C-alpha cells in the first residue's frame, strides 16, 4: 500500500509512456531498486533502458485521394496511428460514427481474418484493429460543429504484418470514400508523408511539426538484478516483470457517477465501451448514486486522471515486493533474478518488445519470465472476465488467472501448481483466459508474450478485469491488498523454485516465430 498509493497518485498523471508522469514513476522504481540493493542492469551501468520513442505528427499538408476527390488533412479528415506508409490499394471499410459507440464496428461485424493479427490495440481490449478509438481528440478544425457525426474509415495496407490505419472524415467525405472503395477497390494515398527536414516557414504562419521529435521525458524500461548465489548458475536469469506505464488523461468526469454507472452497465470497464444502460439499469444507477450522495455529502469530485492502480501499479509494486522478499533471503536463489519494469505496454508491448529484441543480458540466459499485469482486484463482486463461450468468470479472495503457463513448458505450468500446493497458498487458478482462440486474446496482450515469442517459457498472472478497467476510477483505495499480497508471495515462491532447479525448465512445446503473429 505504501508503494502503490504514491505510484498511482494523481501527481503521476497517468504514467503514459514518454511523459513526465512515466518518467517520475521510473525514477521511483530505480530508487527503490537501489534502496533494496539490486544491481543496475540497464544501459551504461544504470537501471534504465531507454526506448527510441518519439512523437510523430501527421504532415498538415497530407491529403487523401479518393477517386478524383482530394481530402485535406484537418478539414476533411484526420488520421490516428499513421506512420510513413502508402495505403494505395488498401481495402477501406466504414468503421463507425465518432461519438456514437453504437455504430462502431463491432467484433461480430469485423472482418476478423482480413485484419493483421499482430495488431496493437491494447487500450480497447477488444482485439479489434479496425475499431476506431472510442473518443479520439479531434483537431480543432474538426471539433467545430460536425465532430459528433464524423465518420471513421479504416484501411489496411496490403503488406504483411502491417497494421490497420484509421482516418476520421467528415460525413460526406467518409460516405464518398467508402462508396468509392466498394465500387472499384480502395484508393487512399499519401495519408502521411515521410518525416523530412523542417521547412522555412513563411512569416506569420504557425509552424507545424513535420517529423518525429524526441520526447522531453524518454520512455524507459527499468532493469535490475538480484545476483544468483550459485557461481555455476548465476549467469542464468529468472525474469520477473510488470509494466510501469498506463494511459493518458481523459476529459474530466464525475468519479462516483462513472464508477457506479460502470459497475452496473459496463462491468468490464473499457472492454464494455459502448454498452448503453437499459431503463432498468439506469434506474438502478440513479438509485445507487442518490444513495451514495446521501451517505457521502459534499464528496463529489471531478476526476480526469487514469491512475492505473491495478493496471499496472499493482504488478509493478508487487515486482518490488518480490525483489524485497528475495533480497532478504539468507541464502539467495541460485540463479540470478532479473526484474524488468517495462514501459509502453499500453502502446502495444513496446518496452518488452524492445527489451527482448535488445536484451541487456544474453537472451538465451533467461530461463523463464513471470509477468504480472492487474493483480490487485478479482473480488467476488467483480466479473473478472468472460470465458471463451461467454460465461462470466467470478473472482474471489483466492482468485487468480493463469495464462500461458504450459504453452512452452509443461514443467513450468506444473511447477506453479506445485508451489501453490506446497506453499498452502490456496489460490484458485482459473485457466479460462488461456483457452486457445479465446476472443480476448489475453495471451498476446501483455509483456510476457515478448519473451514467449523467443521461446522463453512464461507465466502470466492476473486477477482479471473489472468495471474500473481503463477508467479514472482505477484507484488505490479499490485494491484488495491481502489478495495482492497472496499473489505476490506465490510469484516470489515460483521465482525461487525456478531459480533453484538443477536444470532449466524444459521447453517441450514448439517455439513461435519471434517476428510472426501471436496465436492465442
Ligand atoms: Zn496492463
Distance CA 258, CA 289 (A): 10
In angstroms, what is the span from residue 162 Cα to ligand 1's centroid?
23
Q: Tell me what pLDDT residue 125 has.
A: 28
Q: Which residues contact 281 (CB under 8 A, 6 or more apart)?
A: 264, 265
Closest residue by Cα to residue 444 from 210, 127, 113: 127
Helices 279-295 and 255-265 sit at what angle, rounded to 10 degrees? Answer: 140
CA of 372 to the centre of ligand 1 (A): 8
Centroid of ligand 1 to alpha carbon of 312 (angstroms): 5
Q: How far is the centre of ligand 1, averaged over its atoms, from the C-alpha of 212 (Å)?
A: 26
Long-range pairs for 438-443: beta carbons < 8 A, 24 or more residues apart:
438/387, 438/388, 438/520, 439/107, 439/127, 439/388, 440/125, 440/127, 440/271, 440/385, 440/386, 441/127, 441/518, 441/520, 442/385, 442/401, 442/403, 442/520, 443/403, 443/404, 443/407, 443/518, 443/520
Rg (CA), the chain: 24
**3 state SS of 404:** coil
Q: What is the pLDDT of residue 381?
A: 80
Interatomic CA distance for residues 125 and 314, integer angstroms: 19
The four Cα atoms 140, 142, 146, 149 give a dihedral, to 10 degrees, of -130
For residue 374, how far is its CA from the centre of ligand 1 (angstroms)?
6
Instruction: Give me the pLDDT at residue 83, please.
Output: 53
Ligand 1 centroid to residue 143 C-alpha, Å: 31
**Which DSSP category does 146 fall into?**
-
Grid cell of 338 as nine digits: 532479473
Dihedral (Cα; 507, 510, 514, 515), 10-degree rounding: 180
Residue 243 CA to ligand 1 centre (angstroms)? 7
Q: Each residue of 160-187: pLDDT tens digit?
A: 333 455 667 777 676 666 666 555 433 3
- Tens digit of pLDDT for each residue in 246-278? 998 777 889 999 999 999 999 999 888 889 999
Ligand 1 center from residue 260 Cα (angstroms): 22
What 3-state class would DSSP assign to 401?
strand
- Cα(210) to ligand 1 centroid in Å equals 32
Whole-angstrom Cα distance, residue 134 to residue 99?
7
**C-alpha angle 39/43/49, rounded to 5°?**
100
DSSP 106: P
Give pLDDT, residue 65. 74
For residue 4, the CA-to-ligand 1 centroid distance in Å is 15
Examine residue 312 and say whether the peptide bond preceding it is cis (omega within 30 degrees of 0): yes
Low-confidence ranges of the chain (pLDDT < 70): 79-93, 97-167, 172, 174-214
Give the per-residue pLDDT at 182: 53
CA 56–ligand 1 middle distance (angstroms): 24
Query: How far does the centroid of ligand 1 lie from the alpha carbon of residue 305, in Å?
Result: 16
Dist. CA 150–CA 46, nearest whole Å = 47
- Which DSSP letter does residue 200 get? P
Could you tell me the distance, in angstroms and rounded to a whole number, from the CA of residue 221 to the centre of ligand 1? 15
CA of 373 to the centre of ligand 1 (A): 5
* Ligand 1 center from residue 447 Cα (angstroms): 9
State the distance from the centre of ligand 1 to the C-alpha of 15, rounded, in angstroms. Answer: 12
Give the side-chain half-sphere CA count within 13 A for 103: 12
In sequence order, the 6+-apart residues with CB closer than 8 A to the CB of 328 are: none
Q: Please list, in sequence order, all residues whose beta carbon lies within 8 angstroms of the beta carbon of residue 207, skipping any fewer than 6 positions away.
A: 198, 201
pTM attached to this predicted model: 0.77
Cell of 491: 510469484
| CA distance linking residue 292 with residue 288, whole number of Å | 6
Ligand 1 centroid to Cα of residue 19, in Å, is 17
Q: Roughly how many angstroms between the first and final C-alpha of the chain, as a whole number?
A: 34
- Tell how far the Cα of 481 is from the centroid of ligand 1, in angstroms: 18
- What spacing in Å lies between the alpha carbon of 311 and ligand 1's midpoint? 4
pLDDT given at position 392: 83
β-partners of residue 153 are 94, 167
Strand partners, 66: 69
What is the distance between the alpha carbons of residues 92 and 95, in angstroms, rounded to a whole number? 9
What per-residue confidence (pLDDT) applies to 154?
43
Quote the ligand 1 centre to 464 CA distance (angstroms): 10
CA of 345 relative to ligand 1 center, distance in Å: 7
Amino acid at each position: 500500500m505504501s508503494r502503490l498509493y504514491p505510484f498511482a497518485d494523481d501527481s503521476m498523471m497517468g504514467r503514459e509512456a514518454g511523459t513526465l508522469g512515466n518518467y517520475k514513476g521510473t525514477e521511483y522504481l530505480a530508487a527503490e531498486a537501489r534502496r533494496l540493493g539490486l544491481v543496475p542492469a540497464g544501459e551504461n551501468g544504470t537501471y534504465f533502458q531507454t526506448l527510441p520513442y518519439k512523437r510523430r505528427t501527421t504532415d498538415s499538408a497530407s491529403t487523401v485521394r479518393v477517386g478524383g476527390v482530394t481530402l485535406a488533412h484537418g478539414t476533411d479528415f484526420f488520421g490516428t496511428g499513421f506512420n510513413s506508409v502508402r495505403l494505395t490499394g488498401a481495402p477501406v471499410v466504414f468503421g463507425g460514427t465518432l461519438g456514437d459507440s453504437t455504430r462502431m464496428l463491432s467484433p461480430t461485424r469485423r472482418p476478423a481474418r482480413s485484419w493483421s493479427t499482430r495488431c496493437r490495440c491494447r487500450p480497447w481490449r477488444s482485439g479489434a484493429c479496425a475499431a476506431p478509438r472510442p473518443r479520439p481528440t479531434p483537431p480543432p478544425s474538426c471539433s467545430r460543429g460536425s465532430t459528433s457525426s464524423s465518420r471513421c474509415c479504416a484501411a489496411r495496407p496490403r503488406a504483411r504484418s502491417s497494421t490497420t490505419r484509421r482516418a476520421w472524415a467528415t460525413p460526406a467525405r467518409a460516405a464518398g470514400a467508402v462508396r468509392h472503395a466498394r465500387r472499384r477497390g480502395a484508393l487512399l494515398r499519401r495519408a502521411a508523408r515521410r518525416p523530412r527536414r523542417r521547412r522555412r516557414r513563411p512569416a506569420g504562419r504557425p509552424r507545424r511539426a513535420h517529423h518525429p521529435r524526441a520526447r522531453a521525458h524518454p520512455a524507459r524500461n527499468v532493469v535490475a538484478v538480484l545476483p544468483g548465489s550459485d557461481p555455476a548458475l548465476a549467469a542464468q536469469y529468472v525474469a520477473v516483470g510488470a509494466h510501469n506505464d498506463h494511459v493518458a488523461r481523459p476529459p474530466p468526469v464525475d468519479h462516483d457517477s462513472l464508477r457506479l454507472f460502470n459497475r452496473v452497465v459496463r462491468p468490464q470497464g473499457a472492454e464494455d465501451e459502448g454498452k448503453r444502460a437499459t431503463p432498468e439499469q439506469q434506474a438502478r444507477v440513479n438509485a445507487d448514486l442518490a444513495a451514495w450522495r446521501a451517505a457521502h455529502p459534499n464528496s463529489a469530485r471531478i476526476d480526469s486522471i487514469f491512475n492505473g492502480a491495478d493496471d499496472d501499479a499493482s504488478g509493478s509494486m508487487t515486482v518490488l515486493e518480490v525483489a524485497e522478499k528475495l533480497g532478504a533471503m539468507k541464502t539467495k536463489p541460485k540463479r540470478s533474478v532479473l526484474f524488468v519494469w517495462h514501459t509502453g505496454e499500453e502502446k502495444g508491448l513496446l518496452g518488452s518488445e524492445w527489451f527482448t529484441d535488445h536484451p541487456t543480458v544474453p537472451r538465451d540466459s533467461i530461463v523463464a519470465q513471470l509477468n504480472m499485469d492487474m493483480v490487485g482486484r478479482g473480488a467476488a463482486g467483480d466479473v473478472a472476465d468472460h470465458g471463451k463461450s461467454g460465461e462470466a468468470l467470478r473472482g474471489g479472495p483466492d482468485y487468480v488467472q493463469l495464462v500461458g503457463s504450459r504453452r512452452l513448458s509443461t514443467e513450468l505450468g506444473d511447477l506453479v501448481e506445485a508451489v501453490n500446493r506446497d506453499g498452502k497458498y490456496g489460490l484458485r487458478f482459473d485457466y479460462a483466459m488461456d483457452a486457445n482462440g479465446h476472443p480476448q486474446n489475453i495471451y498476446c496482450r501483455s509483456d510476457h508474450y515478448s519473451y514467449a515469442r523467443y521461446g522463453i517459457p512464461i507465466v502470466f498472472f492476473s486477477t482479471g478485469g473489472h468495471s474500473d478497467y481503463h477508467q479514472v476510477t482505477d484507484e488505490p483505495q479499490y485494491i484488495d491488498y491481502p489478495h495482492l499480497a497472496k499473489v505476490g508471495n506465490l510469484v516470489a515462491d515460483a521465482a525461487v523454485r525456478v531459480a533453484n532447479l538443477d536444470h532449466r525448465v524444459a521447453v517441450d512445446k514448439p517455439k513461435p516465430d519471434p517476428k510472426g503473429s501471436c496465436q492465442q
